[in-house]
Chain A
């Protein structure tokens, strides 16, 4: 039997996405596209107040509307009334009080979406409004702050203590930094379809990141055993962390079970801003001490993260902020305190980069300050302190696979810079364009073309006040789940004859959220089995858990599970072949029938951080990315144009070059958004900008051309030597862009997103 055949679309090839043809044709079914005849539409009534007692709820006026089939409150929750990823502190529907604006209070099922919406609005809720706790620093650090939850406002405090604090430094720089509340803003809103089943259970088709953890939270609230809550992944229109927590899952299931009809819930864009967790806003105080030649002696940091009204994944976010709070730098003496606090702001949880993003912005800002204080370049200060394989992190963990940060920085700095800016009186005015062509009347040497400057077609400047800046950013991200979590995935692989040809069926519960995981699973099966024809079955809960499509972990963990299951299948086929030599794979399958194996795959175990010292090997893999940003800034108007982003990332082993580049582009774009555009603006616990008119995500005009260099220094512990790749670029692009704007303006700019007024008012002031 031959299994060593190298298939053309195996590991390392730019294999096309199996779902790609459907997606470009508009034929791929996203959760919001699902339809069953006779289905009802669900709608959610949400609290208008960030903090209030509920004195009464009258569902009568809603029930009286024609077309309404059910109106449910917390009294109708069949089982547990609270759920949550790490602590079950979040009510399915508000119980006697609300803790954030947008908290679900009642749900409605009706025969038309507009009827459902109007019925939800007809529910009469009597609130007694309380003062809202909205300052996370006060909630975390002031014992006199009112409590959001009876157990205290601190969700988690994680110290890290290494060496001794504050001795022997010749240069000290301090800074206070702030990161605004970023939204994942996936384009496909929260949606799902719950179908009541004959056995009293429910079948739920939903866009999520982790089917099994959804099921584990849904079933107790419905008072159903796990096997009666069956989930199938519906098409996912982006995730970025926002689908890790439940949204409409329990609500649709309750309405379906109550009415006996299928119930679909789709959030609108405004509701989506209230329907999922956000990236934690952060307030960070840093002090870096170094020798005169720029070698770090100590780092002290206090990091406060606003967890919002419920726990979500805040404890794990704190773990990342603390353990990675120094960045990828060697320093013996570390004193970090990271906190997440409950407030009456929207709940915050997972977003791409997960706790490492906020700290990265602060420590990279500090490295630039240190470079200036020591008279070194931004690249040189980072190279002098860069970790490498064998370095010890602040947690005591030793990096035991390649981490060639200094070389990455060297490569990045050596990349050519984009051409002179459009306003330059000499040289080409075009930046990264496709070639010279006549530009007509506009844009002579004397009068630069305003459309190529910050402000673009708004024609806000003719070059006066425009400055160019270059900045660097470095990030380190843990890959896979950390701190002792039993992190695994499950794969079932079956090889059989279909139409006379060997065919492999790969079945996992892993969520394709756009990252290309379906393609990668098929590639692994092709490589391991030598079978060209591979189908990846729809993800559902009829196979074991795959864990979450988060923490850049699926290629590693589900990839590892698919590889292990394929190897098991291959061993059985080889045994058959040994017993029956001379047969081809097809002949073996014809004689012996299908061969199927299921395997779980776990990465190396990790340990929790010590609660007092923050010591421990808490991460299984660490990944590095470095960015250089080039910006033009109109310092008078505060407008920024990112001219180019360049990145170097070490991914261990490239599984799919095309999909990987897309991940780096996308992560960079979201980091650029955090640097310049994206913030959920809050006032007194209320969201001011829940729309794409007011919450700005990068457009194709905001995203510049990118230069990429992708390194392959394998991690011997990981399948194929790969290193998770989706998140690291999200970390380093933000500080790189911020540093470039600082370089252009000379301003401190200690907060992202950098708003036009932060530049323009400082400039005039």
Chain B
């Protein structure tokens, strides 16, 4: 069965008709040619397809596109403003927080979503004070990004990039 939906992807309104079984990831990649989210596993295990759905980070391979009608989808490509990389993207470049880069669009989206969660005071499993503001130390960074695999093993530099971002 096909359905008609409209997504707002990286600021552009994108109407589309698709099989109701289509994931958000496949809708982006195969229907809209938005290839910035990557398909590393298609099972929600690797995090390479992470995007921001109405500002919250999700693995787009586990979401049916029809459930996102009218939603705002931000990919790594949409994070840059007027050609300027997002501060998280710049931090990844400066700290060499990637090698092959395949996981990076997902890492970046996950990190941006994570920083917003921290700013909003959302605690994680390693947060001690559940009521106060969250201090983003290395332990918090690790815990909050543990859903994004990096096989090149750039984790040390990912932590460094986000530590710098957290301090700024």
Contacts and interface: CB of A to CB of B under 8 A. Distances in A.
Interface in A158-211: 184-189
A440 interface: yes
A19 B104 CA distance: 12
A396 interface: no
Q: Which of A187, A266, A442 has the most CB of B within 10 A?
A: A187
Contacts of B80: 25
A435 interface: yes
A700 B148 contact: yes
A26 to B, nearest CB: 3
B4 interface: no
A457 B143 CA distance: 9
Residue with the highest number of chain A CB atoms closer than 10 Å, among B108, B145, B149: B149
- The A contact surface, by secondary structure, is loop
A438 B135 CA distance: 11
Interface stretch (A81-89, A90-98, A398-406, A666-674): A666-674
A23 B93 CA distance: 9
Contact of A457 (B30, B125, B163): B125
A515 interface: yes
Interface string B118-160: 0000000110110000010111011101101111111111110
B100 A186 contact: yes
A187 B102 contact: yes
A756 interface: no
Contact of B152 (A189, A269, A433, A666): A666
Interface stretch (A57-65, A332-340, A580-588, A657-665): A657-665
Nearest to A457: B125
A440 B131 CA distance: 11
Contact of A666 (B41, B46, B148, B154): B154
A24 B45 CA distance: 21
Contact of A701 (B75, B79, B89, B142): B142
Contacts of A266: 39
Interface secondary structure of B, over-half rule: loop
A33 B49 CA distance: 13
B43 interface: yes
Nearest to B103: A187
Contact of B40 (A33, A269, A514): A269
Interface string A406-417: 000000000000
Given A240-B151, A692-B45, A706-B156, A21 B102 contact: no
A269 B36 CA distance: 18
A29 interface: yes
Contact of A451 (B41, B95, B101, B126): B126
B70 to A, nearest CB: 23
Contacts of B85: 21, 24-25
B127 to A, nearest CB: 9
Nearest to B78: A26
A692 B142 contact: no
A12 to B, nearest CB: 15
A663 B95 CA distance: 13
B154 A438 contact: no
Interface in A12-31: 14, 16-17, 19-21, 23-30
Contacts of A670: 151, 153
Given A19-B101, A24-B93, A514-B152, A700 B158 contact: yes
A697 B92 contact: no
Nearest to B147: A699
Interface string B81-104: 000010001101101101111111
Contacts of A667: 153
Contacts of B40: 187-189, 237, 269
A35 interface: yes
Nearest to B131: A440
Interface of B: 29-30, 33, 35-43, 45-46, 48, 75-77, 79-80, 85, 89-90, 92-93, 95-96, 98-105, 108, 125-126, 128-129, 135, 137-139, 141-143, 145-146, 148-159, 163
Q: Which 9 pairs from chain A and chain B are nearest by CB?
A: A26-B36, A514-B100, A669-B153, A23-B101, A237-B102, A26-B76, A666-B153, A26-B105, A514-B99
21 contacts: A14-B96, A17-B93, A20-B96, A24-B92, A25-B89, A26-B35, A26-B104, A33-B29, A184-B151, A186-B100, A187-B149, A238-B102, A266-B39, A451-B125, A457-B126, A662-B152, A666-B152, A666-B154, A697-B149, A703-B153, A705-B159
